[in-house]
Amino acid sequence: MNIRDQFNYNSMEGSDDKLMYAEQVSLPELAREVGTPLYVYSSEALIERYKAIAKTNPNGLICYSVKANGNISVIRTLAQHGAGADVVSGGELYRALQAGVSPEKIVFAGVGKTEDEMGAALDANIFQINIESEPELEQLNSVALNRGTTAPVAVRVNPDVDANTHNKIATGRSGDKFGVPYEKAIHLYKKIESLKGVKATGLATHIGSQLTDLEPFEMAFSKISQLACNLKSKGHQIENIDFGGGLGIRYSSEDEPSLLHYASIVSKAASAAGCRIILEPGRWITAPAGILLTRVIYVKRTEARNFAIVDCAMNDFMRPALYDAWHEIKPVIQTKESPDKETVDVVGPICESGDFLAHDRDLPPLAPGNLLAILNTGAYGASMSSHYNSRIPASEVLVKKKKWSIIRKNSSIEAFVADENIAEWLTE
Ligand code: LLP
């Protein structure tokens, strides 16, 4: 796989310093024009990565997992190159449709779809709804009957395979809340036959996220293919298998999983089952296509540690606080005479010790005003941001060659509190 990195250093005219660029746009320029903290995404990286992963499933469908990065311009960039969408809420469905994803390429996953969300999915005429329990199947049946329609469904099966990833993002073990047990699936397909509001179109699974070891995929996909064959032999309609997402990336020292190997596992399972395959990659496409640009506010050197206090925080980017995730941090301006490194914790201004971006990093000695780029933040960055500490989360910019566009402008504190209402008894 030969995907170019789109965040590179280039020399500055008349100076020995080097500046980091996103494609052909310099990050200091973006920081000056738009302000920090700021997510910056590269169109080229999104497109190249989408095309590369699409090759692993040439006869099937790639439904980009919107939860990784739900910005409408990001989804549209991928949709223009053929991507469908995997959505898990009415909000994500709305985004995918606004982005122009065609409904016949949308699958609706998730463990707890409400009646309204089911209704919205049916009204939009999407390709498939993946159900995860018997009560959810019954609910979908009645929502469809009320609308005089039939819902296309796949049952998400929990194959009881440990994805060998972070505990909080493993989803395919029998004790996880996702899917139905393997044995129960047969019963559910029988039930689908007896209900008038639902019809089986496929089978689904998803065992977890950030898998760099491909063996768990192999185990799960082969179990699910066998189940598909078994169901087909009983006369059930299983045209598609949705293998979910989960392909990991290299954040630090992990082994970069091989796309070719992944493709061979997918295609082996596809031919064993004789089904069309749906994949739902999120992170693999968007994570390396984005950086989070932040500015140092203060540097605090103490006996115990050195802290670079920056203007982004866990509300902008939660992965370190939530999963102890490691993300590479680079200075945006590299000076020629890079002095000795200094070990620092890069932390945000939020009032919790859990609010950190990195611990114990060796960086050139930092000073207020310096810009840093936090890498691989195009997935599960902006989409997981919050307003904690009444902070306004980072804006987002999309770059295309020399062009850039603000694709989400963070709102003001006035706009944020405008949704609040003062209880009437407090106004008397
Ligand atoms: N399909 C389903 C049903 C999923 O639950 C997920 C992710 C995906 C696809 C996409 O997985 P990906 O290809 O991105 O690994 N916030 C966490 C990741 C949570 C993943 C949840 N489900 C993180 O920052 O690591």
**Tens-place pLDDT, residues 241-294:** 999 999 999 999 999 899 999 999 999 999 999 999 999 999 999 999 999 999
Tell whether pTM > 0.85: yes
Query: Ligand 1, from 61, 62, 67: best to mutate by most atoms within 8 Å of Cβ?
Result: 67
* Separation CA 344–CA 365 (nearest Å): 9
User: In the structure, which protein residues have their CB atom closer than 6 angstroms to any atom of ligand 1?
Assistant: 65, 67-68, 86, 109, 169, 206, 209-210, 244-247, 280-284, 319, 323, 380
CA of 206 to the centre of ligand 1 (A): 9
CA of 398 to the centre of ligand 1 (A): 22
Ligand 1 atom nearest 110 alpha carbon: 3
Mark whether 198 and 230 lie in a shared domain.
yes
State the residue range of the domain holding 213.
Answer: 109-281
pLDDT band, very low/low/confident/very high, at 327 (cuts 50, 70, 90):
very high
> What pLDDT is attached to residue 338?
65
Better-scored residue on pLDDT, 30 or 335 = 30
Query: 320-337 in b/e burial notation, b at 16+ Cβ within 10 A?
Result: bbeeebbbebbbbbbeee
H helices present in 61-114, as ranges:
72-79, 90-99
Active site residue 351: yes
Mark whether 30 and 126 lie in a shared domain.
no
Residue 117 placed within a domain: yes
Residue 363 placed within a domain: yes
Domain termination site, one of 281, 311, 331:
281
Residue 48 placed within a domain: no
- Helices 182-194/134-146 angle, 10° precision: 20
Residues sharing a CB contact under 8 Å with residue 71, sequence separation 6 or more, in sequence order: 41, 382, 396, 398, 407, 408
Mark whether 124 and 171 lie in a shared domain.
yes
> What pLDDT is attached to residue 1?
52
**Could you identify the residue written with the tokens 């995918």?**
96
CATH, residue 342: 2.40.37.10
Read off the pLDDT of each residue in 63-88 and give the average, rounded to a whole number.
98
CA of 144 to the centre of ligand 1 (A): 28
pLDDT band, very low/low/confident/very high, at 23 (cuts 50, 70, 90):
very high
Mark whether 188 and 307 lie in a shared domain.
no
Query: Ligand 1, from 167, 283, 380: best to mutate by most atoms within 8 Å of Cβ?
Result: 283
Question: Which tens digits make up the pLDDT trace of 337-347?
Answer: 766 899 999 99
> What pLDDT is attached to residue 53?
98
Read off the pLDDT of each residue in 137-162 and give the average, rounded to a whole number.
96
Residue 219 placed within a domain: yes
Domain termination site, one of 281, 314, 349:
281
Residue 427 placed within a domain: no
CA of 288 to the centre of ligand 1 (A): 15
Picking from 205, 283, 225, 203, the residue whose alpha carbon sits closest to that of residue 249 is 283
Count of domains forming the chain:
2
> What pLDDT is attached to residue 169?
86
Domain termination site, one of 236, 262, 281:
281
